[in-house]
Amino acid sequence: MRPDAIAVLDFGSQYAQLVARRVREVAVYCELFPWDTQEERVIELRPKGFILSGGPASVYDSEAPQIPDYVFRTGLPVLGICYGMQALTHTLSGRVASSSEREYGIATIETLTENPLILGGEQQVWMSHGDRIEDLPDHFITFARSENSPIAAMGDMERGYFGVQFHPEVSHTPGGKEILRRFVVDVCGATASWTPESIIAESVARVRMQVGDGKVLSAVSGGVDSSVATALVHHAVGDQLNAIFVDNGLLRKQESAEVVRTFRNVMGVELVAIDAVEEFMKALSGITEPEKKRNIIGERFIRIFEREAQQLGAANFLVQGTIYPDVVESSAPERAKAARIKTHHNVGGLPEDMSFELVEPLRYLFKDEVRKVGEKLGLPSELVWRQPFPGPGLAVRCLGEVTPARLTRLRDADAILTYELEKAGFLHLNRQNGEVQGTAQAFTVMLPVRSVGVMGDQRTYEEVVAIRAVTTEDFMTADWARLPYELLARVSSRIVNEVPNVNRVVYDITSKPPATIEWE
Ligand code: XMP
């Protein structure tokens, strides 16, 4: 059964994805469409209501995005956020005052009248707008005001049209999620049924319909997305699925054994594990240039995957762990796209000349939904909640030549860092009283230099390990994590004492930009 849904029309806001995520968090399915998407595509979703996102334009711009006619023709409820509210006002003959001055930051709104969206009293909201509403459209009333926005929220209860000048989707508007819940559940009447169970049931039905009795192949890398996608497809088609895991020798300590154990023993998947460590090491021997390493690893993976796939016999489908943000970003309005997109050359990608139909069971899921589904399917939480790990693995963290001996040092140092961070509660990001603590990503790097040290009475000339630990929401920008000195001291002393051939540990204190998170 299809879940009730809401359509979010994206007018180019940097927060558009966040709107969709918040609606999903109140267990209502929703999809994001660029504002000029063809009517049929949007209506196909059979939405119960529309949310119009914010955006950088002014309604007076010559090419300002318009609310499509069908939104009004459907007679469904509409909530305009920021630009969405201004566009609603402009279209329904209210007056928007253009202004060169922006109101940006935290503001307090005061509710003026009882209404279906906003609780009474005062509350904190996040504002980010230039233009503002000067005259209400006919039949609308003002719900709330702020110091700089006399009409901070408005509505026409009869038609179910609403507008808020502030951003209910961001965390600086603490009551924002409740406003969105009231709109989608109370006003639009959508049933809150988008839960991990229903997501799994829906995906399983979709995969079964697509695959029929065909054979499906999957490449498991140990990453969250490929693991959950594989587990979901296995749930749907059982032994019609063959999963291949290529051990390239570039995973972290114990990781490859853990992947094999999880899939075979816990999930009951027919996993073919290929020990290709030597093959990769040989191919990487003598290579120090980062891009060359990436290319070699990517190419080698494809070769091995093809070889093994052939041995398993003809398959019609290939599982891909594409998730919703990838899909949305490739179709976002141009202006938003330019600001957001960053592509990575991904190892584990699809062999280009193999002819498979893709099965993408996570195509409509956000990362947090992928994780919840993974947990529900029984994947271990260390796997489901793990920090991002680059496709080319430890090769891009082993600066200079990648050798088995250096990889062992790197793995051992990394395991110490991870253990100590976990023990101190710093392995994940926590938010406490508005303060961010912990790390979004933390790892060690082997530097391509040696340095002089002293151990006992001996002079040493050994390797240097760098610790990289960052806080970030989106990995596009990042700050170095302010880890406690005592924690850094413990990690450093354990690494030099326990990892042979390492005599120095340094801490990377650069943000991104100008640096990147990885060193290569
Ligand atoms: P950078 O180093 O560009 O990394 O700041 C941003 C995020 O992307 C991850 N990363 C990769 N992921 N293949 C991937 O799948 C890659 O080649 C790759 N390079 C970097 C990195 O770990 C960080 O989370």
What's the token pair of residue 392? 């080319």
DSSP 400: S
Catalytic residue annotation: 82, 167, 169
Q: Closest residue (by CA) to atom 9 of ligand 1?
A: 390
The CA 301 to ligand 1 mean position distance, Å, reads 18
DSSP 478: B
The CA 492 to ligand 1 mean position distance, Å, reads 25
Residues 403-418: what's their mean pLDDT? 98
Give tens-digit pLDDT for 58-88.
Answer: 999 999 999 999 999 999 999 999 999 999 9
**Cβ-based neighbour number of residue 8 at 10 Å:** 28
Q: Residue 246's beta-bridge partner residues?
A: 274
Give the pLDDT confidence score for residue 339 in this predicted structure.
46
Give the pLDDT confidence score for residue 20 in this predicted structure.
95
More confident residue, 355 or 496: 496
Give the pLDDT confidence score for residue 350 in this predicted structure.
55
Residues 315-329: what's their mean pLDDT? 89
Q: Rounded distance, CA 511 to CA 478, Å?
A: 6
What's the token pair of residue 43? 């209506």
Q: Rounded distance, CA 48 to CA 45, Å?
A: 9
Give tens-digit pLDDT for 111-125.
Answer: 999 999 999 999 999
Categorize the per-residue pLDDT at 14 as very low, low, confident or very high, splitting at 50, 70 and 90: confident
Give the pLDDT confidence score for residue 493 in this predicted structure.
98
Give tens-digit pLDDT for 280-313.
Answer: 999 999 999 999 999 999 999 999 998 998 898 8
Are the beta carbons of 348 and 314 closer than 8 angstroms? no
- Which atom of ligand 1 is found nearest the CA of 518? 2
Q: Per-residue pLDDT for 346 more than 80?
A: no
The CA 342 to ligand 1 mean position distance, Å, reads 10
Categorize the per-residue pLDDT at 325 as very low, low, confident or very high, splitting at 50, 70 and 90: confident
Q: Which residue has the tokens 């398993």?
A: 312
Looking at the chain, the number of H-run helices and the number of E-run strands are 16, 22
Ligand 1 pocket by Cβ (under 6 Å) = 344-346, 388, 390-392, 441, 475, 512, 516-518
Are the beta carbons of 280 and 250 closer than 8 angstroms? yes
Q: Any alpha helices (H) in 313-380, and if so which ranges?
A: 324-329, 334-340, 367-376
Give the pLDDT confidence score for residue 214 in this predicted structure.
95
- Which atom of ligand 1 is found nearest the CA of 348? 15
Give the pLDDT confidence score for residue 432 in this predicted structure.
73
Categorize the per-residue pLDDT at 101 as very low, low, confident or very high, splitting at 50, 70 and 90: confident
More confident residue, 337 or 430: 430
Give the pLDDT confidence score for residue 33 in this predicted structure.
96
**Cβ-based neighbour number of residue 178 at 10 Å:** 16
Residues in the chain, overall count: 520
Q: Closest residue (by CA) to atom 16 of ligand 1?
A: 390
Q: Rounded distance, CA 350 to CA 264, Å?
A: 23
Are the beta carbons of 463 and 445 closer than 8 angstroms? no
Give the pLDDT confidence score for residue 351 in this predicted structure.
57
Categorize the per-residue pLDDT at 474 as very low, low, confident or very high, splitting at 50, 70 and 90: confident
Residues 320-336: what's their mean pLDDT? 77
Q: Rounded distance, CA 61 to CA 89, Å?
A: 15
Instruction: Please state, rounded to an integer, the average pLDDT across all residues of the chain.
Output: 92
Q: Closest residue (by CA) to atom 10 of ligand 1?
A: 390
More confident residue, 473 or 467: 467
Q: Per-residue pLDDT for 343 more than 60?
A: no
- Which atom of ligand 1 is found nearest the CA of 478? 5
Q: Residue 430's beta-bridge partner residues?
A: 437
Q: Rounded distance, CA 385 to CA 395, Å?
A: 23
Q: Rounded distance, CA 238 to CA 34, Å?
A: 37
Categorize the per-residue pLDDT at 431 as very low, low, confident or very high, splitting at 50, 70 and 90: confident
Give tens-digit pLDDT for 148-198.
Answer: 899 999 999 999 999 999 999 998 899 999 999 999 999 999 999 999 999
Residues 275-279: what's their mean pLDDT? 97
Give the pLDDT confidence score for residue 328 in this predicted structure.
85
Q: Rounded distance, CA 184 to CA 23, Å?
A: 8
Give the sign of the dihedral formed by CA 487, CA 493, CA 499, CA 502: positive
Give the sign of the dihedral formed by CA 160, CA 166, CA 168, CA 174: negative
Categorize the per-residue pLDDT at 480 as very low, low, confident or very high, splitting at 50, 70 and 90: very high
Task: Indicate the top mutation candidate among 294, 340, 341, 344 to test ligand 1's pocket, ranked by most ligand atoms within 8 A of CB.
Answer: 344
Give the pLDDT confidence score for residue 177 in this predicted structure.
95
The H-or-E segment that residue 122 falls in is strand 122-129
Residues whose CB falls within 8 Å of the CB of residue 247, separated by 6 or more in sequence, listed in order: 256, 273, 274, 275, 276, 277
Give the pLDDT confidence score for residue 342 in this predicted structure.
34
Tell me which residue of 74, 68, 279, 38 sits closest to 159, measured CA to CA. Answer: 74
62: left (phi over 0), alpha (psi -120 to 50) or beta: alpha
Burial of 265: CB neighbours in 10 Å, binned 0-12, 13-18, 19+: exposed
Residues 38-51: what's their mean pLDDT? 97
Q: Which residue has the tokens 């508005």?
A: 434
- Which atom of ligand 1 is found nearest the CA of 389? 22
Q: Rounded distance, CA 410 to CA 393, Å?
A: 12
More confident residue, 356 or 281: 281
β-pairing, 47-52 with 441-455? unpaired
Residues whose CB falls within 8 Å of the CB of residue 149, separated by 6 or more in sequence, listed in order: 103, 107, 127, 129, 132, 133, 165, 166
Q: Rounded distance, CA 423 to CA 404, Å?
A: 28
Give the pLDDT confidence score for residue 345 in this predicted structure.
40
Give the pLDDT confidence score for residue 353 in this predicted structure.
66
More confident residue, 270 or 91: 91
Q: Rounded distance, CA 80 to CA 155, Å?
A: 10
Burial of 486: CB neighbours in 10 Å, binned 0-12, 13-18, 19+: exposed
- What 3-state class would DSSP assign to 56? coil
What's the token pair of residue 471? 């806080």
Q: Rounded distance, CA 104 to CA 101, Å?
A: 9
Q: Per-residue pLDDT for 492 more than 80?
A: yes
What's the token pair of residue 368? 């947090």
Tell me which residue of 479, 497, 475 sits closest to 438, measured CA to CA. Answer: 479
The CA 387 to ligand 1 mean position distance, Å, reads 11
What's the token pair of residue 502? 């390492």
More confident residue, 441 or 431: 441
Q: Per-residue pLDDT for 340 more than 60?
A: no
